[in-house]
Structure 1
Amino acid sequence: MTADRGKKSTHLVTGAGGFFASHLVKRLVAEEYSVLAWDVVPWEEASRLHDLPAAQLHYEQIDVGDASSVARHFPTGTDVVWHFAANADIPAGATQTALDVRHGLAPTQQILEAMRKSKGTRLVFPSSSAVYGIEEPHRRSEVDGPFLPVSLYGAAKVGCEALISAYCHCFGLSAVILRFGNLLGGSMRRGILHDFIAKLRENDAELTVLGSGQQRKSYVLVDDCVDASWLLSQHRAGRAGCEVYNVAAGGTLSVLQIAELVTSEMGLVGVPVRPAGDGTSWVGDQPVIDLDITKLLALGWRPRHSPEQAVRVATRRLLEQGGSS
């Protein structure tokens, strides 16, 4: 797929066919920026991007973990690199222990090396609340530490953050790191809403949830994350160094609260919710993720959806799109 490059700045998006990245690509195209989209899958499988006009989108099947491919194809004159290529299956790291290094840490180093040789490019990197681990469960700010992640996904994100910081300070790069809460939206192919909808469609007489049901997380609608990411990318323009921001809607929801919201959106009443355990959902899960977004709010950004609204909007979208299909 080839585009006729416009005069506006060019943006490279890695992992462009993924859930969040595809929403970002759509925003960039809507703003009439020229977008170079990289993903390891062929165009035919990048279905989330198929409704976009070809004039502003150039799609390339690139494995960002392959140093020679990145070095050979990295474009000169790129203004912003949105490096979103990563493993999206967090529990899988407990059984496939090389997964997050291969798809997270190694590709990030390849992108940074390419940026080091291409002056003037700034990086936007999606990290995760997984970096905070489970010590002293309280509202987490960007200055909290030490980072003691409990999943290999979280460990890889910590490693990526460290690499980005070092490259920025050693080579004058510019980067912003976004520590996302739990993202929600349509076109999700895994996650709590996808799981609940699938279970309730199969049996609406009860809903079994993983863990105790008391697990509590910071949830945020993908639309708000795109807005925040765009704001922060512009905030970093022309500034060397590295900065970190939590991105969430403020506040938390428990698994049981989400179950109630999903059943309500599906028009179901009185569905009993049965916890399947007395702890977390999987090996590496965090029982509490509560992100302090004071730093982001100070820039003037405000989420347009509360966590409850995010769940309702995302559930509606999934139901309209076929939910668990």
Structure 2
Amino acid sequence: MNSKKNSETIFVTGAAGFIGAALVKALLTLGFKVIGIDNLNDYYSTSLKRSRLTEIEKVSRENGEWFFYEITIEDKKVLLDLINRYEPQIFVHLAAQAGVRYSITNPSAYIQSNLVGFANVLEGCRKNKITHLIYASSSSVYGGNKNLPFYEEQAVNHPVSLYAATKKANELMAHTYSHLYNLPTTGLRFFTVYGPWGRPDMAPMIFARSILKNQPIKVFNYGEMKRDFTYIDDVVEGIIRCCFKKASIDDSFNPLMPNPSTSSAPYRIFNLGNSHPIPLTYFIELLEKNLGKKAIKNFQPLQQGDVVSTAAKMDLLNSWVEYKPTTSIENGIKLFSEWYLDYFKNTS
């Protein structure tokens, strides 16, 4: 056991997911006791999720305390019993049905996980007097907004996917609990997270796999797209910093001109991005360079539910917890490519 053991117990949902697993490893390295849950659903490869859990186990042998349970957040009784058993001080909610495109064909999965499941999380936090709830929102909430860079004071009333609508709903639900029950809640709008151990349904993994197999990659909107790619380690750093600065009442909150990112309740919303949007074509060039192969590009129109550009204004989070991402897209893609080539070297 690491001698730098910390006293806080932290509960993490979605612990076998891309961001969740990276966060858990970082928290364990810092000596925290971590309770992780995940339903290990088959939205994408369960073997990748189990590999992430194996990596967590390796870290936990030398650092912190780690307890994992395969449960779903939709099961209210099991979830609340587990929270009650461990009495965590901090709750990080990352479990969700992810993916913009999947929400177009499978909307019910998003209703159950992202709305019913989140309601159960809020109830668990309320009943167990959690001192701070940090939860995943998404840059997708900005929807049809074309005023770049996106900033938290903007209205986000025009989502273009059900996934985005559920994330906006999470922010509204969290505010209600902050207001009614004085539960400090912090929502983090993630911007296109990438890196080692990433999700197979996202562009880096899809493109890398196709490039190495000499298969065409679909380049939507004919390549005229930009994304605020944010490296996984930078995202984890932002989450951890927010964990230990509780959401608080905004003393300057004006109900006549309400700021959507703060409140007269202990409630905060922050972008968590890189603030350096990258053209999709440059992103592909970097993958080609690091994988050592050229991509076969199949240019396509903009896909339903997608947005052309994302860019995060990061002033609020920087002023709140002195957060600034440090990983360049060039170094991030290099690290991702090295991991990808190593992890999949024995696959066809």
Q: Give the TM-score of the pair, scaled to structure 2.
A: 0.84
CA distance in 1, matches of 2:296, 2:318: 35
SS in 2 for 1:90: coil
CA distance in 2, matches of 1:139, 1:72: 42
Deviations 1:249-284 (A, max 9, x none): 11111211111010011123xx36534213x2x321
Matched, 1:19 2:18: yes
Task: Report the counterpart of residue 253 of structure 2 in structure 1.
Answer: none
Task: Report the counterpart of residue 304 of structure 2 in structure 1.
Answer: 283
Per the alignment, do residues 134 and 307 of structure 1 end up closer, same or farther by CA in structure 2, a change over 3 Å counting? Answer: farther
Task: Report the counterpart of residue 50 of structure 1 in structure 2.
Answer: 54
CA distance in 2, matches of 1:49, 1:91: 27
Residues paired across the two proteins, number: 315
SS in 1 for 2:209: helix
Per the alignment, do residues 283 and 214 of structure 1 end up closer, same or farther by CA in structure 2, a change over 3 Å counting? Answer: same
SS in 2 for 1:74: helix
Matched, 1:307 2:329: yes
Q: 2:149 aligns with which of 132, 135, 139?
A: 139
Deviations 1:1-49 (A, max 9, x none): xxxxx76110000111101000000011101111111111399963302
Which consecutive residues of structure 1, in runs of 5 or more, have no partner in the other structure?
1-5
How far is 1:307 from its partner?
3.2
How far is 1:146 from its partner?
3.5
Which consecutive residues of structure 2, in runs of 5 or more, have no partner in the other structure?
250-264
Matched, 1:259 2:284: yes
CA distance in 1, matches of 2:19, 2:175: 23
| Mean CA deviation greater in 44-53 or 224-233 | 44-53
Task: Report the counterpart of residue 294 of structure 1 in structure 2.
Answer: 315
| Amino acid aligned to 2:305 | G
> Identity rate of aligned residues, in percent?
23
Deviations 1:210-261 (A, max 9, x none): 3311111111100000001111111217876110111111111121111101
Task: Say whether the 8 Å CA contact 2:34–2:67 is kept in structure 1.
Answer: yes
How far is 1:314 from its partner?
2.1
Task: Detail structure 1 runs of 4+ shifted over 4 Å in the superposition.
Answer: 42-45, 237-240
| Amino acid aligned to 2:50 | A
| Amino acid aligned to 2:297 | R
Matched, 1:121 2:131: yes
Task: Say whether the 8 Å CA contact 2:217–2:297 is kept in structure 1.
Answer: yes
Task: Report the counterpart of residue 191 of structure 1 in structure 2.
Answer: 202
| Amino acid aligned to 2:322 | G
> Over aligned residue pairs, what C-alpha RMSD do you find?
2.3
Q: Give the TM-score of the pair, scaled to structure 1.
A: 0.90
SS in 2 for 1:261: helix
Task: Say whether the 8 Å CA contact 2:12–2:24 is kept in structure 1.
Answer: yes
Deviations 1:162-189 (A, max 9, x none): 0001100110001111101000111122
CA distance in 2, matches of 1:324, 1:168: 49
CA distance in 2, matches of 1:147, 1:309: 36
Task: Say whether the 8 Å CA contact 1:224–1:305 is kept in structure 2.
Answer: yes
| Amino acid aligned to 1:291 | A
Per the alignment, do residues 324 and 165 of structure 1 end up closer, same or farther by CA in structure 2, a change over 3 Å counting? Answer: farther
Q: 1:59 aligns with which of 58, 61, 68?
A: 68
| Amino acid aligned to 1:276 | F
